[in-house]
């Protein structure tokens, strides 16, 4: 309902545009959930070296360029082969899943690499791909 305050207050307290122009009748306090308009975010809210704001994004998919290079400090080699999905994409093709190396790099880029075992990446990617395929078929 337009003008309805979620806290049960007078409509004009939550929506100043609904208030009369008579300043003498204006209440002294506003809606308890009244907030300042949010400022437009100009960058990634989590700024860190190598974080989400440090890479150029492809405007077609809003993803960084595929990275199949070993991560700094990575102990072993991870597979770089990718699997083609059965899920169609908008270009009359099929999605292509990330390789274990790409998936590992994405986890690190997103700050979610702590405790990740490199030798588990093949299984993690297989589970990820399988869940996508099963979900698509539902």
Summarised one tens digit per residue, pLDDT across range 69-123 is: 999 999 999 999 999 999 998 888 999 999 999 999 999 999 999 999 999 999 9
Q: Using CA atoms in the order 72, 74, 75, 80, what is the torsion angle rounded to 10 degrees?
A: -130
In a domain, 23, yes or no: no
- The phi, psi pair for 84, rounded to 5°, reads -85, 130
pLDDT in tens, 35-79: 666 555 555 554 445 555 557 888 877 778 888 999 999 999 999
In a domain, 50, yes or no: no
Domain region containing 87: 64-137
Mean pLDDT of 12-40: 55
Distance CA 101, CA 81 (A): 9
In a domain, 131, yes or no: yes
Contacts of 21 (CB under 8 A, 6+ apart): none
Per-residue pLDDT band for 15 (boundaries 50, 70, 90) equals very low
Looking at per-residue confidence, does 135 or 42 come out higher? 135
In a domain, 48, yes or no: no
In a domain, 114, yes or no: yes
In a domain, 106, yes or no: yes
Q: Are 43 and 53 in contact (CB under 8 A)?
A: yes
Q: Are 128 and 97 in contact (CB under 8 A)?
A: yes
In a domain, 53, yes or no: no
In a domain, 125, yes or no: yes
CB-count exposure of residue 72 (10 Å: 0-12, 13-18, 19+):
exposed
Q: Coil, helix or strand for 96?
A: strand
Count of domains observed in the chain:
1
Give the pair of three-digit tokens for residue 115.
């405790």
């Amino acid at each position: 309902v337009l003008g309805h305050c979620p806290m049960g207050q007078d409509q004009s307290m939550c929506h100043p545009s609904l208030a009369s122009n008579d300043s003498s009748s204006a209440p002294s306090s506003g809606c308890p959930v009244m907030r300042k308009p949010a400022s437009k975010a100009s960058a990634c809210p989590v700024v860190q070296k190598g974080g989400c704001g440090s890479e150029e994004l492809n405007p077609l998919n809003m993803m960084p360029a595929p990275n199949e290079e070993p991560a700094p400090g990575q102990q072993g080699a991870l597979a770089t082969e990718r699997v083609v999905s059965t899920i169609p994409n908008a270009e009359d093709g099929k999605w292509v899943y990330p390789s274990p190396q790409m998936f590992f790099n994405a986890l690190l880029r997103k700050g979610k690499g702590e405790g990740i075992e490199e030798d588990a990446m093949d299984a993690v990617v297989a589970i990820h791909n399988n869940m996508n395929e099963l979900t698509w078929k539902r």
